[in-house]
Chain A
Amino acid sequence: MSADSPIVEIGETPLVPAHVSAAFVSDSVSRVTEQASPVGWWMVFGVALLFLGVLGLSVGYLVWNGIGSWGNNSPTAWAWDITNFVWWIGIGHAGTLISAVLFLFRQKWRTSVNRFAEAMTIFAVICALLYPTIHVGRIWALYWALPIPNQMAMWPNFKSPLLWDVFAVSTYFTVSLLFWFVGLIPDFATLRDRAKNVARKKVYGALALGWRGSNRHWRHYERAYLILAALSTPLVLSVHSVVSFDFATSVMPGWHTTIFPPYFVAGAVFSGFAMVMTLMLICRQVYGLKDIMTMKHLELMNKIMLVTGSLVGYAYSMEFFMAWYSGNAYERYVFINRATGPYWWAYWTMVTCNVISPQLFWSKRLRTSIPVMFAVSITINIGMWFERFVIIVTSLHRDYLPSSWGMFHPTLIDIGCYTGSLGLFFTLFSLFIRWIPMVAMFEVKAALPGAQPSHHHAHTEHAEPAHGALAVKEA
């Protein structure tokens, strides 16, 4: 018996069905980029392009007319813009978590999911970066945020967490992009080798950077990948911690609380997994990848959502308890106001979507049901948007002076900038699906039962055929 074979009595199941072989993986993943796109793809791409247009118009209007086109006002100087920024940044975190952290933990199941999640990270960070960029109002002066020597002798404020954000997010984006591209090289080579026409051969050939799969190539590749994983892991934590500092360093009740950094990281991973799940469920259906992204993968991801959702629930309860325990009148009021004030519906939407809905995953039947997990993943995405809305708007709208209290009302441009960013995201994502292998083929192959070093060994000692792809082929 190979140590890696699943022990059925304690509830273990194989990751992928026995008939999944190396050739099967190459075929079913590469095919997506080689054949004409199904109608579903054109529909998604079309709608996404439409919303990308909405984004262009909204942002154009905003830049021309100024930030007053948004509903932001004096008590709520931050509103949907920063809510969207934090939401997208959070969604981006799952990619790095799956790629880097699960890689360091040697979780083989990540192989079917990581490429997908990394791509999502890049696109989500692009969407996120949009908001601070346009929020500065005069976007032609954006470079003032960078410490570039200039004739005005003007420097950014290094004490400001907003500036750290510029560094943290841009570093994160750069490293994520590198990590994604490095991981793609062997797969680009596969596409190059399969290419039937010269154009494909040239383009994928250039992207593959001359990959020949030699021993030396693999050795360098694995070293590079490990180093990038080790670099990305602290980045996952640092980026959202710095985002949380934007709030928590202030003396604003509802913003200033010490648990914010890990709480934001947990929330980010939570929302990112939900987004990966939504996209994955659609893609495995449309492209028939159910044998590669199996129910087991989905179930494991649901478990992570249950864990991170509960961590977020823990943080909510700590915040609420401490607001009361602090005895500080302002802290207490902010939390009572969140739950019972004019934005009570936002608060309870957040709690229902983020804390209660993932609890459905305690049941094995529910966490292996496609409709349930699809609904919950969307619910979590909604809930995590509301979390940021609650943190930002409900804390700001009633500050220390009741005379300055107000409400936030989104304008059409607010709505356009938000829905438009979804258009940008799905446009990029559709193009990714169309042209880049959405599953890390070589990594999935390496995790197949036949690829284990113990496999051959186990096979020779047993009279009966071993499990896995090899056995099927022989039969």
Chain B
Amino acid sequence: MSDAKKTPDSMKYRIPEGSAWDGAWKMALTVAALGGLVALGGAFMDPKRFAFSYLYGFVTVLTLWLGSVFFVLIQHLTSAGWSVSVRRASEFFVSGVVVLPFLFAPLIPNFKTLYPWWTTDKTGVAEAQEHAAAAPKGEGHEGAAVTEGEGEHSPAELIEEATLAKKSAYLNHTFFGIRMCVYFAVWLFLGLRLFRYSTAQDATRDKQWTVKLQGFAPVATILFAFSLTFAGFDWIMSLEPGWYSTMFGVRIFATSAVTSFACIILVTLGWKRAGLVHDEINTEHLHDLGKLMFGFLVFWAYISFSEFFLIWYAAIPEETIYFHRRWDDQSWRTISCMIVGLKFIVPFYLIMSRNAKRNNGLIGLGAGWLLAMHLVEIYYWIMPYYKPHAGVQWSGIWMEAGCVMATVGVYMTRVLWNMRKHSLIAVGDPRLSRALDFVNA
């Protein structure tokens, strides 16, 4: 078989003008605009809820983006051949990085609403340190959960303040701001470079781009791992500044990975349906993507369970508070159970079998299901802090819907826009023929 026959032409996999995919970005933009209006209305009606809802929307997008970066990086790290024809799908998601700083911007004025430590920082430090000296150590922590929320100067609050004072070297305005800038700088650098190098190869077929990407991937992975972890600590974990868990970064990573596999599967199925990629993305690739999605789902369950289990078993109050917030109230308990039953048990059996992964309808259902459950999981991460002791506030859920529509809409506008500009398959990759020949043994 000749090379020319096996490496297709870069114009073959373009979205034709006037097709549904060509106009898809307009739909995303409309969704974003509608969501934006709703969110804006919410911001006036209930600014506090808006802060949490918007963070919810942002984290939903961020995790999707992080997962996509992981997929692209791991392909370069392992010099993978099978995945070359589906890698571009993920790279489009990576290319959406440019909108992330803009999407984050509305959160900045809301830090004081979101993060309890934001207001105690600086002003409260000296006072809190006095409390720290006065408060009984060790024993006193046990009281924290019991007396939570009693009166203005409850022992629990004093301890909370004292704990915050100890963390002020990390949780303070300046350092938080610097870290935020570093994360975005790193992410823009990674995202743009991964996308640019790969698309540059489409036209030139220069193998040097592959070498460069392989050389870049290890360093990029380290930057990725630490930026993901600490961004997670800053923006999500510090919603509950007294709580801590070393697994938290791993959990964010695992959730992100599952989500991005679901997205890649849905997008490639969409392309196939529109006849854009012919048989170059076929059952074999979907089967492997399905295996990875299944594998990471199990990994996610494993680390989430381990985290929960160790906290439950040791029963240290400042750690168990995280799960108390999501269990003591019946409505949150329902959501906690949904995470176990509907994010793990149902899709586990749904996509476990080989036949399911090789059936476009079933694997698409599994991916869509996991994407929907992603929305629930992020809700479970963020929203318990809006009204900590009051259960799920169902009546205002339109605001979360609006924020997710706005953030996901903006992000997808950018992603879909980029799809119109580039080949849907990395045609210049020297390993493409391996992906085309790939068969699951």
Contacts and interface: CB of A to CB of B under 8 A. Distances in A.
Contact of B229 (A7, A260, A318): A318
Contact of A11 (B1, B211, B248): B211
B101 interface: no
A325 B137 contact: no
Contacts of A248: 310, 314
Given A262-B303, A325-B170, A9 B314 contact: no
Interface string A233-273: 01001000100010011110000111111100000000000
B167 A325 contact: yes
A461 interface: yes
Given A11-B211, A11-B214, A261-B303, A256 B310 contact: yes
B314 A362 contact: no
B433 interface: yes
Interface in B194-232: 207, 210-211, 214, 218, 222, 225-226, 229
Q: Is the interface of A mostly helix, strand, loop or mixed?
A: helix
A258 B247 contact: yes
A450 B303 CA distance: 42
Contacts of A241: 302, 306
Contacts, number: 106
Given A1-B3, A3-B434, A249-B313, A10 B170 contact: no
Contacts of B313: 245, 249
- For chain B, give the interface size range: 35 or more
Contacts of B6: 1, 3
B22 interface: no
A436 B174 CA distance: 64
B430 A258 contact: no
Given A262-B303, A318-B249, A362-B218, A326 B310 contact: no
Interface in B156-172: 162-164, 166-167, 170
B137 A7 contact: no
If over half of B's interface residues share one DSSP class (helix, strand or loop), that class is named, otherwise mixed; here it is helix
Kindly name the residue among A248, A327, A362 whose own CB sees the greatest number of chain B CB atoms within 10 A.
A327
Nearest to B316: A251
A454 interface: yes
Contacts of A256: 310, 314, 316
Q: How large is the interface on A (under 10, 10 to 19, 20 to 34, 35 or more residues)?
A: 35 or more
B123 to A, nearest CB: 19
A260 B310 contact: yes
Nearest to A106: B441
A474 interface: no
Interface of A: 1, 3-4, 7, 9-12, 106, 234, 237, 241, 245, 248-251, 256-262, 310, 314-315, 318-319, 322, 325-330, 362, 400, 454, 458, 461
24 contacts: A3-B434, A7-B431, A10-B79, A10-B431, A11-B211, A11-B214, A245-B309, A248-B310, A249-B314, A250-B314, A256-B310, A258-B246, A258-B311, A259-B250, A261-B306, A262-B247, A314-B226, A315-B246, A318-B246, A322-B246, A327-B163, A330-B138, A454-B437, A461-B1
Given A256-B310, A326-B318, 18 more contacts: A1-B1, A1-B3, A1-B6, A4-B434, A7-B430, A10-B207, A245-B310, A248-B310, A258-B306, A261-B310, A314-B225, A319-B246, A325-B167, A325-B170, A325-B233, A326-B244, A362-B218, A400-B138
